[in-house]
Homo-oligomer: A and B are copies of this chain.
Amino acid sequence: MTVPKRFDWEKLQQFCSDVFVNAGVMRDSADIVAASLIQADLRGVDSHGVVRTAIYLNRIEKNMINPSAEILIEAEDDAIVLVNGNNHFGAVVGTKALDIALHKAQEKGAAIVGVKGSNHFGTGAFYVLKAIEKNMILLVLSNASQTMPPTGGIRPFIGTNPLAIGVPAGEEEPFILDMATSVVSRGKIIVADQKGENIPLGWAIDKDGNPTTDARDALEGSVLPVGGAKGYGISMFIDILAGVLTGAGFGKYVNNMYENWDEPQNVGHFFLAIDINRFMPIETFKLRMDLYLKEIKGEPKANGVEEIYIPGEIETLKEIERKKNGIELPSKVVEELIEIGKRYHLDLLNATISQENEHREALKEC
């Protein structure tokens, strides 16, 4: 049997949410986690999309995530809040922290929310986009389990700790930087290994700490921080703000989602929300952003470059395209989701884009 490839994003999101509800998650939490996964797929960040449904379910089943946990505020002051996720879903904890940060920034001009006791929270863009809707600037940091060595080291110590920043614009697409602090994702090295290809020097080291172009050796070694000592420093500072400062894990005390089944991850996050209106009227700010973005996009281009993109622009264009034409999933992921559906009495095929729709869409393009 050939499995379907393309899915309607809203139906797929409903399917995911239903799966989580049938696995014992409250509907509002299930909706948040499903929205986080689907948004990643829409924006082309497939590694953080519905492919993660299986691992999230596993972690609920093995009591590594507590979807009934009460998320608590442990400390609060004018401009800072400390949240304990109590091991709820990362996306649910993150969304709660974001809401607090936006609300407080509205009141005080800016606010920091530190989070401990959380789990993998999906993409940073998920939070940043919500802040942009409220005309806020948001910086989000999260630590992660060990994957990269310190400069001079040979084995993983810091995570590829991501940072994301979102800034609204006027007519232009918003600025959305969402990046891991590694040179490339481990996923790219896995792909090279599967194809039997070499990887460029500088992506990774082997298990003895030597630079390598062999993808297999790289997978047994460590991914490298972006920009050498600079990426190492940025990754550490994220670990400090998200982990050391909040009371979450840091370094080896952040557990690996795929490998550690003895205790929760204890991931930490850090949210900084800024109310633009306190600095200048939002309309003025948006005009300034538009000018900045238009000027950068209007720069002369290198040979072979068709367009200069601002961070997040390619993902935003993908989101528009995929909302219209559907999300295409690899057959391995589709098969896994079909199985998951069966386990939870749900039919993934309800989420496919019908042949008829596909033809209708194809006709429009002619």
Contacts and interface: CB of A to CB of B under 8 A. Distances in A.
Nearest to A156: B299
B302 A77 contact: no
A137 interface: yes
A78 to B, nearest CB: 4
A244 interface: yes
B77 A280 contact: no
Contacts of A205: 302
Contacts of A230: 179, 226-227
A279 B177 contact: no
A154 B195 CA distance: 33
A310 B235 CA distance: 12
Contact of A285 (B109, B244, B274): B244
B152 A302 contact: yes
Contact of A279 (B82, B137, B308): B82
Nearest to A180: B230
Given A80-B109, A80-B110, A247-B279, A303 B209 contact: yes
A239 interface: yes
Nearest to A241: B137
Interface in A297-326: 299-303, 305, 307-311
B274 A80 contact: yes
B302 A154 contact: yes
B155 A308 contact: no
Given A165-B237, A175-B240, A296-B251, A150 B308 contact: yes
A153 B251 contact: no
Interface in A152-166: 152-155, 157-158, 165
Looking at A112, A244, A295, the one whose CB has the most chain B CB atoms below 10 A away is A244
A108 interface: yes
A204 interface: no
Interface centre among A247, A292, A300, A301 (most CB of B within 10 A): A292
A128 B252 CA distance: 27
Contact of A78 (B108, B245, B285, B295): B108
Nearest to A293: B236
A234 interface: yes
B311 A233 contact: yes
A27 interface: no
A109 B78 contact: yes
A109 B109 contact: no
Contacts of A109: 77-80, 112
A232 B227 CA distance: 12
Interface in A240-294: 240-241, 244-247, 250-252, 272, 274-276, 278-280, 285, 288-289, 292
9 closest Cβ pairs, A-B complex: A209-B302, A77-B109, A226-B227, A80-B109, A78-B108, A79-B79, A177-B233, A233-B311, A152-B305
28 contacts: A75-B279, A78-B78, A79-B109, A79-B111, A80-B109, A80-B274, A82-B278, A112-B274, A150-B310, A151-B308, A152-B307, A152-B308, A153-B299, A153-B302, A154-B300, A157-B295, A167-B244, A175-B240, A183-B227, A208-B303, A227-B230, A229-B311, A236-B311, A244-B289, A246-B279, A250-B292, A251-B292, A251-B296
